[in-house]
């Protein structure tokens, strides 16, 4: 008893649940981020002696009445092992960080004051099974609960709720675990008028509940069920649905699944994996608004309340086991626990605890054994256990490349060519053994990870969507991943930022690879989420032959909850609008409706926008939320640039050429002032601040490879950042060829070339006066034999620092690039300049908006109009930092004070791709060295402080 009754008043206090390394106490240790590597020597099952350990003590009171019951301590989540003692007696060891475990403390509990001691070690043998590409965060991070169980209570219930798709009736197949003394037991569904009493365990059997509404992610219909006996009542929510695999189709309620999914870790920037129900609900509501209907719980079972929310809101869920041994890949999987009989019981224990905790949730349509743990007999044993325990729901495991024990063919980051080859049963995927792909083509297929959303990207969402829509085996995929995992921290001078690997003094880390989500750490949606929502919308709108085609690709539910509207905009300004009468379209069907006519204007761009919006408030969105949209160009007859006004030859005044109210440097020909606006430029730029897809090179490249002949993604090559820097795109040198004044014109010719190579680009600028302002016509002509690609071909203007507002007529509202432009709509937009740029964890290229027609900077009284030149218009980017400044910074707070507002007018930028962890930019989206043209008109007026 002395070990219990000692003075702990000098101990520190900590909230539970919490991670001790996130308490702002450096002496308690720091978080560690690794993707694949173990942060200690691989010596399984042993761990280092230097093992961070936390001792927890808490007292609680028990009444005499409670001691008449069976008492359990439930641990829902501890990383990684906990040794629990009550009143000085050990009551159990808790293993499996993301799994629940209950310890029987009945014999150790006593009336009055009880002392619970829990010793938590960060590293244990179990850590070798928990290497899941996330922060290593020790501590008790889920609730610890005292459970009092009545004598003769109901130990466990599984209400399997089947749905007969032909008869449209529901059937319960109850499984009750209880002693015979707990009977009779009654199952009741009051809403359906169902009540069935079982006098003994031998009588427990199926219950026909009659006609029901089935549960689906689109229509998540739940019924309240009670399972009761003389001493207790259990409340459950039941969703009737049937999950099955028929040939190469994975079906729910008789219809093929279509997964528009994301991978989701548990994460909070302040509290790590501590669960917050409201925060999780808000995240899932944003998913619903973004047309996401499926979640893979990467790479462990989440907090149990997550499944309650998924049942209620409607998501297809792959529930993944608490298993990953990825670090063994570095030794070619030698010693991998997945194929070692000594670890078999640990593997089976994990899958059993996962299943038994979560089995009642209708949202779960597949069990996943885990992630990136190689292959082996222990995984096969897990699958066999699941198939025996739950014959209905299929087993998923990506690394079962041969399909020996899983039911779904699952791949990561496959190319489009690999998807086609797998669907055709061709052996072009080098993962499976020869000939095996033909057999696997008879099964359903998914991409459990694709479109690596690290920084600005990924691109090619629409290309994958097209194949998911057309290849019969493919059921969709799960973007990696939902949210960046930066941890809120601050510099020594108190400047807050979101830290990633290496920001906490780790010995070993994987940098910003932990920030790879469609939502930033602070919960700001990125442009990729906007793009993904636009692409994967289940309500597809197309204009064909003067009619609007509405294609309802929901799994269930017609379009009666939606309204369809249109508006016409002439040069971005609304001139007409209305509603479309679209009768409800059943799920899986199409309908076309006629379109209203329009009056053709004499001149201008006339665009018609169609939107499908929610007709009423929904749990996940307010009425008017846009579910889907498309645009139709009705007329493209913009005002031409016209002929330049006849003017005098520019004058050379005080070292500057003067043309109207514009001044040009006499030597370089740069525009240095327009009206009262000080500026500098334009300067040719071929480099961009590298995106993280530009910066990483683990995947092959298409720079010197055709996809048709290299279906696995191209050939090894340095990253785009390395290639561009090697050529010297980041350090162009300029030589003035000539500055020539003529009647009404100033012609400037520059040569841009990197050091050490002979390739160059000649830029010719012709300045003239138009009827409404200064005009610029420009061409950029490259010499022969430029290698590789360029990041951009653009002209940069340096404007005064401190500008805050911009308005434009062009594409928006979000970023758009060559392989990420489905969400872009032509219109008029306005924004704070800082909001044009996404504050990624690592500063990088951001903010390009293609197809600029007009750009207005009210604080300067400056307006620019862009006209088609060579059939193209430039896009624009505005930000407060130059390319070198952005490229050098590793965090947003490292950007220096702004010296100017930089404006890029890019005729083209290279696409984004997914090469940080996936396929490269496809050739059709690459920027090969090319000629470019610009035609612009600049107007000045009275500056205004804001829009």
Q: Which residues are the active-site residues?
A: 372, 449
Residue 350's SS3 state is helix
Q: Going by C-beta distance under 8 Å and a sequence separation of 6 or more, which residues neighbour residue 840?
A: 455, 456, 515, 520, 526, 692, 846, 892
Burial state string for 774-802 with b = 16 or more CB within 10 A and e = fewer than 16: bbbbbbbebeeebebbbbbbbbbbbbeee
* Enclosing H/E stretch for 888: helix 883-888
**Residue pair 610/551 in contact by the 8 Å Cβ criterion:** no
Check: CB of residue 266 under 8 Å from CB of residue 273. Answer: yes
As given in the structure block, the two tokens for residue 673 are 């002032």
- The answer to whether 693 and 913 have CB atoms below 8 angstroms apart is yes
d(CA 680, CA 586): 58
Q: Which residues pair with 775 in a beta bridge?
A: 768, 937
Question: Exposed, middle or buried, 278 (CB in 10 Å: 0-12/13-18/19+)?
Answer: exposed
Torsion over CA of 138, 140, 141 and 143, rounded to 10 degrees? 170
The span from the CA of 666 to the CA of 655, in Å, is 6
CA angle (770, 776, 782) in 5-degree steps: 155
Taking each helix axis from N to C end, the angle separating 304-313 and 277-289, rounded to the nearest 10 degrees, works out to 40
Rounded to a whole number, what is the distance in angstroms from the first to the last CA of the chain?
74
Helix ranges restricted to H, 632-742: 692-695, 720-727
* Chain CA centroid to CA 89, Å: 47
Residue with tokens 């889920």: 142
717-731 burial code (b ≥16 CB/10 A, e <16)? bebbbebbbebbbbe
Question: CA 924, 927, 928, 930: dihedral to nearest 10 degrees?
Answer: 120
For the chain, what's the residue count? Answer: 947
Can you name the residues that pair with 295 across neighbouring β-strands?
262, 317
- 420's enclosing H/E stretch is helix 416-424
The 3-state DSSP class for residue 478 equals strand
For 645, which DSSP code?
P
d(C-alpha 909, C-alpha 898), whole Å: 24
Q: Do 647 and 769 form a contact (C-beta atoms < 8 A)?
A: yes
Name the residue with tokens 């044009």: 836
3 state DSSP class of 932: strand
Is the CB of residue 290 less than 8 Å from the CB of residue 260? Answer: no
């Amino acid at each position: 008893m002395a070990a219990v009754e000692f003075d702990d008043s000098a101990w520190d206090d900590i909230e539970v649940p919490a991670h001790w390394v996130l308490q702002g106490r450096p002496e308690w240790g720091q978080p560690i981020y690794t993707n694949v590597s173990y942060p200690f020597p691989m010596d399984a099952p042993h761990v280092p002696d230097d093992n961070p350990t936390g001792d927890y003590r808490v007292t609680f009171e028990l009444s005499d009445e409670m001691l008449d019951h069976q008492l359990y301590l439930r641990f829902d989540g501890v990383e990684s092992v906990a040794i629990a003692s009550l009143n000085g007696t050990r009551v159990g060891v808790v293993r499996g960080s993301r799994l629940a475990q209950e310890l029987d403390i009945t014999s150790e509990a006593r009336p009055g004051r009880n002392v619970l001691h829990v010793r938590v070690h960060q590293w244990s043998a179990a850590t070798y099974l928990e290497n899941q590409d996330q922060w290593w965060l020790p501590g008790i991070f889920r609730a610890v609960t005292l459970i009092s169980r009545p004598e003769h209570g109901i130990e466990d219930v599984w209400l399997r709720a089947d749905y007969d798709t032909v008869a449209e009736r529901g059937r319960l197949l109850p499984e009750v675990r209880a002693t015979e003394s707990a009977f009779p037991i009654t199952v009741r569904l009051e809403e359906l008028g169902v009540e069935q009493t079982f006098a003994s365990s031998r009588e427990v059997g199926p219950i026909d509940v009659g006609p029901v509404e089935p549960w689906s992610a689109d229509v998540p219909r739940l019924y309240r069920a009670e399972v009761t006996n003389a001493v207790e009542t259990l409340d459950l929510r039941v969703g009737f649905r049937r999950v099955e695999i028929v040939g190469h189709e994975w079906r729910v309620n008789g219809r093929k699944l279509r997964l528009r999914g994301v991978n989701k870790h548990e994460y909070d920037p302040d509290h790590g994996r501590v669960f917050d129900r409201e925060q999780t609900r808000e995240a899932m509501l944003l998913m619903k608004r973004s047309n996401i209907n499926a979640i893979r719980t990467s790479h462990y079972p989440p907090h149990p309340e997550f499944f309650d929310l998924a049942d209620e809101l409607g998501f297809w869920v792959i529930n993944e086991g608490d298993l990953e041994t990825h670090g063994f890949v570095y030794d070619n999987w030698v010693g991998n626990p997945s194929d070692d009989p000594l670890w078999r019981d640990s593997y089976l224990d994990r899958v059993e605890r996962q299943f038994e905790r979560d089995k009642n949730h209708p949202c779960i349509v597949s069990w996943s054994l885990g992630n990136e743990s190689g292959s082996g007999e222990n995984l096969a044993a897990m699958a066999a256990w699941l198939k025996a325990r739950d014959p209905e729901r299929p087993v998923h495991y990506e690394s079962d490349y041969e399909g020996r024990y899983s039911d779904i063919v699952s791949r990561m980051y496959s190319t489009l060519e690999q998807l086609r080859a797998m669907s055709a049963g061709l052996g072009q995927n080098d993962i499976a053994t020869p000939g095996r792909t033909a057999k696997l083509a008879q099964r359903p297929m998914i991409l459990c990870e694709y479109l690596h959303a690290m920084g600005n990207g990924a691109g090619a969402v629409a290309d994958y969507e097209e194949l998911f829509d057309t290849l019969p085996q493919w059921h969709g995929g799960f973007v990696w991943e939902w949210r960046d995992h930066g941890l809120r921290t601050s510099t020594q001078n108190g400047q807050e930022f979101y830290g990633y690997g290496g920001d906490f003094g780790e010995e070993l880390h994987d940098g910003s690879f932990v920030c790879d989500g469609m939502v930033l750490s602070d919960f700001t949606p990125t442009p990729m989420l906007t793009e993904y929502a636009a692409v994967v919308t289940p309500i597809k709108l197309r204009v064909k032959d003067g009619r609007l085609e509405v294609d309802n690709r929901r799994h269930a539910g017609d379009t009666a909850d939606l309204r369809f509207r249109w508006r016409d905009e002439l040069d971005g300004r609304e001139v007409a609008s209305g509603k479309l009468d679209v009768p409800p379209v059943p799920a899986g069907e199409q309908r076309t409706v006629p379109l209203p006519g329009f009056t053709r204007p004499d001149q201008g761009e006339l665009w018609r926008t169609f939107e499908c919006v929610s007709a009423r408030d929904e749990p996940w969105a307010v009425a008017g939320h846009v579910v889907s949209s498309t645009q139709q160009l009705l007329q493209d007859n913009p005002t031409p640039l016209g002929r330049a006004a006849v003017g005098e030859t520019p004058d050379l005044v005080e070292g500057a050429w003067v043309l109207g109210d514009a001044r040009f440097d006499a030597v370089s020909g740069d525009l240095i002032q327009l009206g009262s606006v000080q500026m500098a430029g334009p300067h040719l730029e071929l480099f961009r601040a590298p995106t993280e897809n530009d910066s990483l090179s683990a995947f092959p490249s298409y720079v010197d490879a055709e996809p048709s002949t290299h279906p696995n993604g191209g050939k090894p090559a340095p990253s785009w950042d390395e290639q561009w820097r090697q050529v010297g795109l980041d350090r162009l040198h300029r030589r003035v060829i000539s500055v020539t004044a003529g009647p009404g014109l100033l012609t400037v010719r520059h040569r841009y070339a990197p050091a050490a190579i002979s390739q160059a680009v000649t830029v010719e600028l012709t300045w003239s006066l138009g009827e409404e302002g200064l005009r610029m016509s420009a061409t950029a002509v490259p010499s022969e034999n430029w290698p590789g690609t360029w990041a951009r071909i653009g002209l940069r203007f340096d404007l005064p620092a401190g500008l805050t507002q911009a308005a434009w007529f062009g594409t928006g509202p979000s970023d758009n690039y060559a392989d990420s432009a489905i969400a872009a709509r032509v219109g008029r937009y306005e924004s704070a300049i800082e909001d044009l740029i996404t504050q990624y964890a690592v500063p990088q290229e951001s903010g390009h908006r293609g197809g600029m027609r007009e750009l207005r900077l009210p604080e300067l009284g400056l307006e620019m109009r862009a006209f088609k030149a060579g059939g193209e218009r430039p896009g624009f980017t505005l930000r407060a930092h130059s390319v070198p400044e952005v490229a050098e910074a590793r965090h947003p707070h490292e950007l220096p004070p702004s010296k100017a507002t930089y404006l890029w007018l890019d005729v083209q930028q290279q696409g984004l791709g997914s090469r940080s962890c996936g396929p490269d930019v496809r050739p059709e989206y690459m920027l090969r060295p090319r000629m470019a043209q610009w035609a612009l008109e600049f107007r000045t007026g009275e500056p205004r402080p804001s829009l």
